């Protein structure tokens, strides 16, 4: 079966599956009882085609707009414009000078001419009653007016589906419809031949069973939809930095209004349509909107920023013009959201299993019906009444047909693929409480097979609370303490050197020091930038005065490939100065001068160079992150377009930043090792720092090795094949090194790889990995968009929790499949063999519907929602090649099926003698005993299925209240069916002895299951 599934249903991957693969498996699943329910959690391919068409249309529209604006620019210079725009009355009354449609047409159409008519960006800001420096006023009255005129930044969502919609969908089941027709015919024939109410019992029994199945199914599906709704809400929680009332603050992107001043930096999602106010080196990726992969330069000449695009490089201030459904992204998002998530590989495989068993079931149903009808004909031929047919005969044929249809109901395990979503929804909800937000369903199950985790160091293995603890300035190594201590320790540093150091710290930074709305000083930026700015404040520096004293001419933001950032300043007395900072050895290699202990610039001789290199090594061996700061005087001929010099800098100093290892990381790494998961650390840090942290975390062992990114890049394919299995630490790595490592692990070594990432440049590796894990706190929006799971607390221990839940999901679904296939096999064989050999079926339509509900909906609820236990992390991972239906499962399915079939067959052939049953009701009593034994076999088999390999299946049984509740309800309802609903369910009350024996026969399945677990199953 596994090879058939892999051949026909194995094309669908956990991510990035082709459209052909998604189409192919759908065509193979032709035997579906309820398409609406079966395909509810699969991608809507027609909506995806629609979204692609919108993208293509946008691409063409924007291309035309760019050409028009370029042509317009050639005529604009030197022309004066007369405004033909009339402000609508209601807009004027609200205090604004431009309406929403006009704003939308300017940005969406990239209309330079209109922008100039309205006075460019400054003019638009005035007309929007906002300030480029202070932002909008936050008085409630003004905010409400703004919302009324320009709308809110929320997008249309498909309305939540109510409970009755799920009831209606559950009723769409083809087999249930056929049974409903059978019930109606049975009612009509029964009442006409036997009268009311006796003739209605059979029909009403089927109707009641159908309604029970429908309502239980609808309730489960409805609750599941609410869980997914909650998760969707969590996914959309995105905050952005804005200036309002002159204060910087974080707000939700859904609270943005036209006129807001937004601060964007590398990796951010552009939250609304707007105009560029100021900034440096801004590159925007518009592929989400237009499908165009080439990034667009945004500057004063091309100031248009579109909602839904991503900041690929640089940083800027943006004036929000258009929000919500007025933006192109809002219109596209409505279609995109209806496209849905790709189906998961397990869903597809189980659809395949359901199709195979459905075909077998359909064959058995047809044969059973034929045999039963042939038996009736044979009997009538013997009696010589083949030409006379009564209502009873018609009802008998109808009953045969109902049994055949019910065999299809039981045989097509519609619940298999849905059990996957049930288990995933349950796990995703619980994982939210454990600080992991799953963005894609498939990631949950794939994480259970993970064999390798490539983790960042900063913020994942460490706390990300950085502080400068040591510095080497003017050749002197100093400890950094509190403000007073630091001021006194650094008091012997010459004022010229201190001045240059503070100039470098406060100008060459991606961070900012602002006054927040509580009127307190707040340092914004990455943890590294925050640590250095804090160091500048400790030295007595003033951020605002340093920034106002000089004009910034050019900014090169931090680049994880170059491992540095730089800025060019225009000095007050003329001349230009470049400051750069970054990876110590890289910046030091670019220096040929250094500031000495007297504050004078001298040539960097071998002794000074070695002293600085030893300092870097000393800081790194203490697990400190080292950064080197340098500057260079450059000529006035330099322009903003010119590249920065790569040599000739003067070294200002080296700082050592402490980032402590997170508590619990060492234990989590040990858990991964015992679970067969290899943890590798991939970091941009110095190799000595990386090794020190890796040893502290328990990642780097004596047998393993560490390598630097540049050396890794130079290795040939055979060398990489030899190095990678032992590789535990990669230092000074670039995003492409991480991507190469992940690709080799996945393809060459066929590992299932999870990768963590927080920066924009990590997106390719996150996309390439089987499971991309983005950091919720430190991660950029671009990284989160590319990820499958967001680690909300940025903690490595949470990644281990995700792996544990992933394994739990995988094993829970295996347990459910094992349980359901056992019921399928036994129900099919019992009814088929009985029909063939005795001419009647022991299980009626109503009884089979109840059995179907036990194994389908209730079984999924009980087994697919088992919480994980610590033992899961003591077994080896499934990996990429593990069979889903394992030899262990086949052993348990076959063993249990044989036992149950033997019991049922014995009761059918010897039951009357064994229980000493006689009289006119003997067949009814025997069939009730068979039905009761069969149901209790399933109840105890459900308990045995809690663990497929261990004998003790009672461990933690009461911790799972869902399992306990399902078992209790099944047993209680079974008693009610037998004792009180006999007329509808074709049962009769049983004596105490009969109850005891039937329950005991069910219970006997447990020691049988325990004995089966002792039999070695061999490898998969």
Q: Which bin fits 103, alpha (ψ -120 to 50), beta or left (φ > 0)?
A: alpha
Name the residue with higher pLDDT: 873 or 42: 873
Return d(Cα 991, Cα 984) in angstroms, integer.
Answer: 19
- Burial degree of 425 (CB within 10 A; 0-12, 13-18, 19+): buried
Return d(Cα 618, Cα 602) in angstroms, integer.
Answer: 24
Q: What is the DSSP letter of 32?
A: -
Name the E strands within 347-479: 436-438, 452-455, 467-473, 476-479
pLDDT band at 62 (very low <50, low <70, confident <90, very high): low
Chain centroid to Cα 872, Å, comes to 21
Q: What is the pLDDT of residues 500-533, one digit of tens each?
A: 999 999 999 988 888 777 778 888 888 889 999 9
pLDDT band at 839 (very low <50, low <70, confident <90, very high): low
Confidence check: pLDDT of 332 > 90: no
Q: What is the pLDDT of residues 164-222, one digit of tens each?
A: 888 888 888 776 777 777 778 777 766 776 677 776 776 787 788 778 878 887 887 78
List all residues 6 or more positions away from 966 whose beta carbon is below 8 Å from its beta carbon: 858, 859, 861, 862
- pLDDT value at residue 857: 74
Confidence check: pLDDT of 8 > 80: no
- Mean pLDDT in residue range 927-934: 91
- pLDDT value at residue 619: 92
Q: Which residues of 148-166 are buried (b: 16+ CB within 10 A; e: fewer)?
A: ebbbbbebeeeeeeeeeeb
3-state secondary structure of 42: coil
pLDDT band at 318 (very low <50, low <70, confident <90, very high): very high
Percent of the chain with pLDDT over 70: 87
- pLDDT value at residue 903: 92
Q: What is the pLDDT of residues 963-983, one digit of tens each?
A: 888 899 999 999 998 998 887
Q: What is the end-to-end Cα distance of the chain in Å, rounded?
A: 12
Q: How many CB atoms lie within 10 A of CB 573?
A: 4
pLDDT band at 15 (very low <50, low <70, confident <90, very high): low
- pLDDT value at residue 1012: 92
Q: Are 478 and 471 in contact (CB under 8 A)?
A: yes
Confidence check: pLDDT of 582 > 70: yes
Q: How far is CA 659 from CA 336, 457, 458, 528, 693, in A?
A: 41, 10, 8, 9, 10
Q: What is the DSSP letter of 327?
A: S
Q: Which residues of 690-723 are buried (b: 16+ CB within 10 A; e: fewer)?
A: bbbbbebbbbbeeeeebbbbeebeeeeeeeeeee
Give the closest residue to 938 by CA, choosing from 848, 820, 843.
Answer: 820
Chain centroid to Cα 460, Å, comes to 18
pLDDT band at 594 (very low <50, low <70, confident <90, very high): very high
Helices (H) and strands (E) in the chain, counts: 40, 26
Q: Name the least confident of 9-13, 568-572, 596-600, 755-759.
A: 9-13
Per the DSSP assignment, residues forming a β-bridge with 661 are 462
Q: What is the pLDDT of residues 80-107, one digit of tens each?
A: 444 567 888 898 888 899 999 899 888 8
- pLDDT value at residue 858: 80
- pLDDT value at residue 80: 47
Please state whether the peptide bond connecting residue 613 to the residue before it is cis, i.e. omega within 30 degrees of 0: no
Confidence check: pLDDT of 833 > 90: no
Confidence check: pLDDT of 429 > 90: no
pLDDT band at 56 (very low <50, low <70, confident <90, very high): low
Give the closest residue to 508 by CA, choosing from 601, 644, 406.
Answer: 644
Return d(Cα 854, Cα 935) in angstroms, integer.
Answer: 8
Confidence check: pLDDT of 788 > 80: yes
Q: Are 700 and 679 in contact (CB under 8 A)?
A: no
Q: Cα–Cα–Cα angle for 502, 503, 506, nearest 5°?
A: 80
Return d(Cα 123, Cα 781) in angstroms, integer.
Answer: 31
Return d(Cα 956, Cα 968) in angstroms, integer.
Answer: 16
pLDDT band at 768 (very low <50, low <70, confident <90, very high): confident
- pLDDT value at residue 204: 80
- pLDDT value at residue 79: 47
Return d(Cα 975, Cα 992) in angstroms, integer.
Answer: 12
Return d(Cα 992, Cα 1000) in angstroms, integer.
Answer: 12
- pLDDT value at residue 43: 66
- Mean pLDDT in residue range 298-323: 89
Residue that the structure tokens 């300092």 belong to: 615
Q: Where are the alpha helices (DSSP H) in 516-623?
A: 527-538, 543-549, 584-589, 606-621
Q: Where are the alpha helices (DSSP H) in 412-542?
A: 415-433, 441-447, 483-489, 495-507, 527-538
- pLDDT value at residue 81: 47
Return d(Cα 694, Cα 740) in angstroms, integer.
Answer: 21
Confidence check: pLDDT of 78 > 60: no
What is the pTM for the complete model shown? 0.78
Q: What is the pLDDT of residues 392-419, one digit of tens each?
A: 777 778 778 777 777 777 666 766 777 7
Confidence check: pLDDT of 441 > 90: no
Residues acting as catalytic residues? 456
Measured torsion, CA atoms of residues 855, 858, 864, 865, in degrees rounded to the nearest 10: -160
- pLDDT value at residue 430: 85
Q: How many CB atoms lie within 10 A of CB 678?
A: 19
- pLDDT value at residue 403: 74
Of the segments 585-589, 849-853, 871-875, which one has the largest average pLDDT value?
585-589
Phi, psi angle pair for 685, to nearest 5°: -75, 165
pLDDT band at 344 (very low <50, low <70, confident <90, very high): confident
pLDDT band at 64 (very low <50, low <70, confident <90, very high): low
Return d(Cα 893, Cα 988) in angstroms, integer.
Answer: 31
pLDDT band at 485 (very low <50, low <70, confident <90, very high): low
Return d(Cα 958, Cα 946) in angstroms, integer.
Answer: 12
Return d(Cα 625, Cα 205) in angstroms, integer.
Answer: 74
Q: Give me the chain's average pLDDT, please.
A: 83
Instruction: Report residue 587 as tokens.
Output: 């910046």
3-state SS, 858-894, equals HHHHHHCCCCCCHHHHHCCCCCCCCCCCCHHHHHHHH
Sign for the pseudo-dihedral over CA of 912, 916, 922, 926? negative
Q: How far is CA 103 from CA 76, 107, 149, 320, in A?
A: 20, 7, 12, 10
- pLDDT value at residue 574: 80
- Mean pLDDT in residue range 601-622: 92
Return d(Cα 884, Cα 893) in angstroms, integer.
Answer: 14
Give the closest residue to 785 by CA, choosing from 427, 336, 152, 303.
Answer: 336
Confidence check: pLDDT of 337 > 60: no
Q: How many CB atoms lie within 10 A of CB 442?
A: 25
Confidence check: pLDDT of 686 > 90: no
Q: Name the least confident of 101-115, 397-411, 470-484.
A: 397-411
């Amino acid at each position: 079966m596994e090879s058939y599934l892999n051949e026909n249903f194995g094309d669908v991957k956990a991510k990035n599956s082709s459209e052909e693969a998604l189409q192919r498996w759908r065509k193979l699943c032709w035997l579906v009882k309820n398409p609406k329910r079966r395909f509810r959690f699969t991608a809507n391919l027609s909506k995806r085609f629609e979204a692609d068409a919108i993208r293509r249309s946008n691409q063409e529209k924007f291309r035309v707009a760019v050409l028009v604006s370029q042509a317009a620019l050639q005529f604009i210079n030197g022309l004066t414009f007369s405004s033909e725009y009339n402000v609508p009355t209601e807009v004027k009354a609200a205090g604004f000078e431009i309406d929403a449609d006009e704003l939308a047409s300017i940005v969406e159409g990239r209309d330079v001419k209109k922008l100039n008519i309205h006075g460019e960006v400054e003019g638009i800001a005035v007309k929007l009653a906002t300030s480029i420096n202070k932002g909008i006023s936050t008085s409630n009255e003004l905010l409400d007016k703004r919302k009324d005129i320009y709308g809110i930044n929320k997008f249309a969502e498909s309305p939540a589906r109510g409970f009755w919609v799920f009831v209606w969908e559950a009723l769409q089941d083809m087999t249930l419809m056929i049974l409903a027709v059978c019930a109606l015919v049975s009612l009509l024939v029964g009442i006409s031949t036997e009268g009311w109410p006796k003739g209605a019992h059979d029909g009403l029994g089927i109707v009641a069973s159908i309604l029970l199945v429908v309502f239980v199914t609808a309730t489960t599906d409805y609750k599941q939809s609410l869980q997914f709704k909650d998760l969707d809400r969590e996914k959309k929680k995105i905050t952005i930095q804005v200036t309002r009332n002159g204060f910087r603050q974080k707000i939700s992107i859904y609270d943005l209004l036209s006129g807001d001043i937004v601060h964007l930096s590398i990796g951010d999602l552009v939250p609304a349509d707007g105009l560029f106010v100021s900034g440096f080196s801004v590159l925007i990726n518009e592929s989400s909107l237009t499908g165009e992969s080439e990034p667009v330069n945004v500057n004063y000449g091309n100031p248009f920023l579109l909602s839904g695009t991503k900041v690929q490089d640089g940083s800027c201030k943006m004036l929000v013009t258009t929000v919500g459904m007025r933006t192109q992204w809002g219109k596209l998002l409505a279609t995109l959201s209806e496209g849905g998530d790709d189906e998961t590989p397990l869903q597809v495989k189980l659809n395949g299993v359901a199709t195979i068993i459905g075909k077998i079931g359909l064959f058995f149903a047809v044969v059973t019906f034929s045999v039963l009808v042939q038996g009736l004909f044979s009997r009538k031929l013997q009696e010589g009444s083949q030409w006379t047919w009564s209502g009873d005969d018609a009802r008998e044929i109808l009953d045969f047909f109902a049994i055949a249809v019910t065999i299809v109901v039981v045989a097509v395990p519609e619940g298999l693929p849905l059990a996957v979503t049930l288990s995933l929804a349950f796990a995703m909800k619980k994982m939210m409480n454990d600080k992991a937000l799953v963005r894609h369903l498939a990631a949950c199950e794939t994480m259970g097979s993970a064999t390798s985790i490539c983790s960042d160091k900063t913020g994942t293995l460490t706390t990300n609370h950085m502080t400068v603890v040591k510095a080497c300035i003017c050749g002197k190594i100093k400890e950094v303490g509190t403000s007073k201590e630091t001021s006194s320790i650094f008091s012997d540093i010459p004022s010229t050197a201190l001045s240059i150091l503070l100039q470098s710290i406060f100008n060459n930074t991606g961070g900012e020091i602002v006054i927040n709305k509580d009127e307190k000083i707040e340092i914004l930026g990455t943890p590294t930038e925050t640590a250095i700015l804090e160091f500048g404040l400790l030295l007595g520096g003033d951020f605002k005065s340093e920034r106002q004293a000089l004009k910034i001419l050019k900014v090169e933001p931090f680049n994880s490939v170059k491992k540095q950032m730089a800025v060019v300043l225009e000095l007050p007395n003329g001349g230009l100065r470049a400051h750069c900072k970054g990876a110590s050895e890289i910046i030091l290699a670019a220096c040929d001068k250094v500031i000495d202990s007297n504050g004078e610039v001298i040539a960097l001789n071998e002794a000074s160079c070695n002293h600085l290199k030893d300092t870097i090594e000393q800081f790194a061996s203490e697990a400190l992150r080292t950064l080197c700061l340098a500057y260079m005087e450059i000529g006035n001929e330099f322009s903003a377009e010119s590249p920065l010099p790569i040599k000739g800098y003067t070294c200002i100093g080296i700082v050592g930043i402490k980032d402590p290892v997170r508590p619990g990381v060492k234990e989590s790494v040990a858990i991964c090792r015992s679970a067969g998961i290899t943890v590798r650390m991939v970091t941009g840090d110095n190799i000595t720092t990386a090794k020190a942290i890796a040893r502290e975390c328990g990642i780097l062992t004596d047998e393993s090795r560490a390598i630097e990114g540049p050396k890794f890049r130079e290795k040939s394919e055979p060398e990489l094949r030899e190095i990678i299995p032992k590789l535990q630490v990669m230092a000074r790595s670039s995003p492409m090194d991480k991507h190469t490592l992940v690709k080799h692990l996945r393809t060459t070594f066929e590992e299932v790889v999870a990768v963590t990432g927080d920066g924009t440049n990590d997106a390719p590796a996150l996309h390439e990995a089987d499971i991309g894990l983005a950091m919720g706190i430190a991660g950029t929006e671009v990284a989160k968009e590319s990820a499958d799971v967001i680690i909300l607390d940025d903690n490595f221990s949470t990644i281990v929790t995700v792996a544990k839940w992933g394994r739990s999901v995988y094993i829970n679904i295996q347990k459910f499949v094992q349980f359901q296939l056992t019921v399928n096999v036994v129900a099919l064989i019992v009814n088929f063999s009985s029909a063939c050999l005795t001419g009647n079926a022991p299980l009626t339509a109503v009884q089979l519907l109840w059995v179907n509900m036990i194994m389908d909906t209730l079984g999924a609820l009980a087994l697919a929602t088992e919480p994980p236990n610590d033992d899961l992390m003591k077994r080896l991972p499934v990996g990429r090649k593990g069979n889903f239906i394992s030899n262990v499962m086949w052993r348990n399915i076959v063993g249990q099926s044989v036992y149950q079939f033997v019991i049922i067959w014995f009761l059918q052939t010897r039951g009357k003698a064994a229980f000493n049953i006689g009289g006119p009701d003997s067949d009814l009593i025997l069939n009730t005993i068979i039905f009761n034994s069969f149901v209790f076999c399933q109840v105890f088999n459900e308990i045995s299925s809690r663990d497929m390999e261990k004998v003790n299946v009672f461990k933690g049984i009461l911790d799972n209240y869902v399992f306990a509740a399902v078992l209790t309800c099944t047993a209680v309802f079974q008693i009610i069916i037998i004792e009180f609903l006999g007329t509808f369910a074709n049962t009769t009350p049983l004596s105490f002895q009969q109850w005891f024996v039937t329950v005991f026969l069910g219970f006997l399945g447990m020691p049988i299951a325990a004995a089966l677990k002792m039999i070695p199953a061999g490898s998969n």
